[in-house]
A and B are shown apart, each in its own frame.
Chain A
Amino acid sequence: MNTVIIPILRSAISIMTPLLLAAMGGLFTELSGMLNIALEGLMLMGAFSTIVFAYSTGSLLQGVVLGVLSTMLLATLFALVTLKLKANVFITGLATNLFASGLTVVLSYRLFGNKGVVVFDNIAALPRISIPLIRSIPILGDLLSGHHVFVYISWVLLILVGFSLYRTPFGFRLRAAGLHEKTLISLGLKPDRYRFIAFLISGAACALAGAILTLNLGAFVPNITSGKGWIALVVIFLGQKRPFGLFVAALIFGFADAFSNYAQGAWNIPADVILTIPYLFTLVAMVVFSIYTNRRSRVE
């Protein structure tokens, strides 16, 4: 039993990390009143730019920093068109996704003469962290210790996100932009400024999420995000737009994904069918969630 469940849970924790990071970024835009469907494209941009910069500078850290900056640049474009040209955020989000998927392939072709898989052989493995004390606790140690560094970064960031949204004036104002922007305007503040910052934060967070995918693999695969950005958006809704909720929703999703990976190996189910599990699972979770909230709103 333990030889099945614990590896699945352990890999769930690792799989949920990009989802959690992207969802945290998307939480800022969501709470500021912008439906951000560009998490997917921003992640893809982060995935590509991080590994290319890590390859050309020879340093993981520099790669991540430059990757985050270039993804924030794309987020700036997204934000400027949406807020300054007053375009519909849903459509500009689609545009950002399309732009990122086109740009990464075009650049990959231009830089490496190849628009398929690009393998970078000089990329160092992500550092793994073994937590003192916890690693010696039997089951907990297996689950929580020894993951790559981004897993722990995402947990620290989650606390920071909760704090900044619910305990700082910045967070209150950003949420007010989404809840009731007239209040902000009457205080002499500009809702769009908070939305702009939210877009930038979502860009940075998605860059980290994407970086995990390519750095872990040591390669860039076209469309490597394969729907993870969309699932991160569902995680935001399922997590009821609260930091802890995001964690639970991302974990559930990571578990579904880890389980389907296991099932593929164990039961010899065709890959295409296995790949439907995360989507089906998310769909069912979303429907159950909406039945639940619907009931509650009727009672009230």
Chain B
Amino acid sequence: MGSRSLQREFSRPTVLRSAIGPLIIAALALGALVILALLLSETPGRTLRYFFLGPVQNTYYAGNMINTAIPLIFGGLGISLAMRAGSFNLGGEGQLYGGAFVTTISAIALGSWGLAGAVLSLIFGALTGGVLAGFSGFLRKQWNTNELISSFLLSNVVVLLVSYLIAGPFQDPETNLIATRRIAESFRLMRILEPSNLSSAVYFALLAVVLVHLYLYRMKSGYELRMVGLNPMFARYGGIRVSWYRIWSMFLSGALYGLGGGFAIFGTYYASVREFSTGMGWNGLAVALIARFQPVAVIPAALFFAYIESGARSAMLHSDVTFEIASIVQAVVFFLVTSSLLQRLGTKRRSV
């Protein structure tokens, strides 16, 4: 599978040099956007102005942009952990949506428990994502089932089932949205940049980055996880339980996605709205790739992605293009992000 070659491509960046590749890619992606605007828009100047400046023109848009980045940070961390162990988790969509749903219904059920209820709800959400992804890890460990495809298929099943539950048994009859009931006021995270949607969930996202970084680079288990990804044979001879890390890394990956879903509910949505998280799982994957699976680099990568989305949304509101130009710009990033030719621009002198 491609996962090990990916690891090699992304190994040992030096901070300054490794920034050159991503910057070139960002520049090329934004260049593609300029071309798109010229081709598709009657008023390209207006489109571009709102795309580039819209997300930062006032606290409302800037706060919303950062808020968009929060689930991407959790997803990016989740993917990074799995990739570091040489596993592919392609089920982020279902893990995030499932985690968000379980967090919502737990929070409604535990409405009178206060802080303990909130923490428990988040844990249940994380467990949901973790078990879903961990199951794919288990299949790989047990029968060598390709976890890339199994996690993807399982995620599709979960997305459909959760949508069914939201529209059916758990629908709130008092709203016109297809959504569950809303969680209690006391469970909602504080808004920290009124009038935008940005909530204190952003602190938890930053905390998660620090914890994942410490886990991977300061703890024995994190070291073993990385060894499994770099060279499973070597790890096995060194006495590391490789098969266990196949499950554990996927579990952690899904748990982070589930947590991202839970914080999206507590911080922004307050109820599971049908298909509210569509695309967040995939974008988490993209973020991890841009960050080259470095936990700390996930933050700027998630902000860059959120910037593209917010820019597209702003251009759609104020000009004549549609939101989906964001997908095209993101695709350009994907096309270029693993190019070893472009990477080498940054790390030239080293013989490959």
A280 at the interface (CB under 8 A from B): yes
Contacts of A102 in B (CB 8 A): 324-328, 330-331
In whole angstroms, how far apart are the Cα atoms of A90 and B325 in the complex? 22
Contacts of A90 in B (CB 8 A): 2, 6, 88
Bits for A245-274, please: 1 = Cβ < 8 Å to B, else 0. 000000000000000000000000010110
In whole angstroms, how far apart are the Cα atoms of A227 and B146 in the complex? 18
Contact, CB under 8 Å: A227 / B156: yes
Contact, CB under 8 Å: A101 / B327: yes
Contact, CB under 8 Å: B337 / A91: yes
Contact, CB under 8 Å: B139 / A95: no
B213 vs chain A, min Cβ distance (A): 23
Contacts of B154 in A (CB 8 A): 279, 283
In whole angstroms, how far apart are the Cα atoms of A216 and B27 in the complex? 42
Contact, CB under 8 Å: B340 / A86: yes
B40 at the interface (CB under 8 A from A): yes
Chain A contact residues: helix, strand, loop or mixed: helix
Number of interface residues of A (CB under 8 A): 45
Contact, CB under 8 Å: B322 / A88: no
In whole angstroms, how far apart are the Cα atoms of A254 and B146 in the complex? 22
A98 at the interface (CB under 8 A from B): yes
Contacts of B5 in A (CB 8 A): 88
Contact, CB under 8 Å: A279 / B157: yes
Contact, CB under 8 Å: A290 / B143: yes
The bracket for how many chain B residues form the interface is 35 or more
Residues of B272-299 at the interface with A, using a CB-CB cut-off of 8 Å, are: 282, 285-286, 289
B26 vs chain A, min Cβ distance (A): 15
Contact, CB under 8 Å: B322 / A279: no
Q: A98-B327, A270-B168 are in contact. Are A290 and B144 (CB under 8 A)?
A: yes
B338 at the interface (CB under 8 A from A): yes
Interface residues of A (CB under 8 A from B): 35, 77, 81, 84-92, 94-96, 98-99, 101-103, 105-106, 109-110, 115, 227, 230, 233-234, 237, 270, 272-273, 275-276, 279-280, 282-283, 286-287, 290-291, 293-294
Give me 6 A-to-B residue pairs in the complex whose CB atoms sit less than 8 angstroms apart, sorted by A's number.
Answer: A35-B2, A90-B2, A92-B335, A102-B324, A110-B40, A230-B149
3 pairs of A and B residues whose beta carbons are closest in the complex: A102-B327, A95-B334, A99-B331
Sample of 8 more A-B contacts, CB < 8 Å, known A101-B324, A102-B328: A35-B2, A92-B334, A95-B331, A95-B332, A102-B327, A270-B164, A279-B153, A286-B149
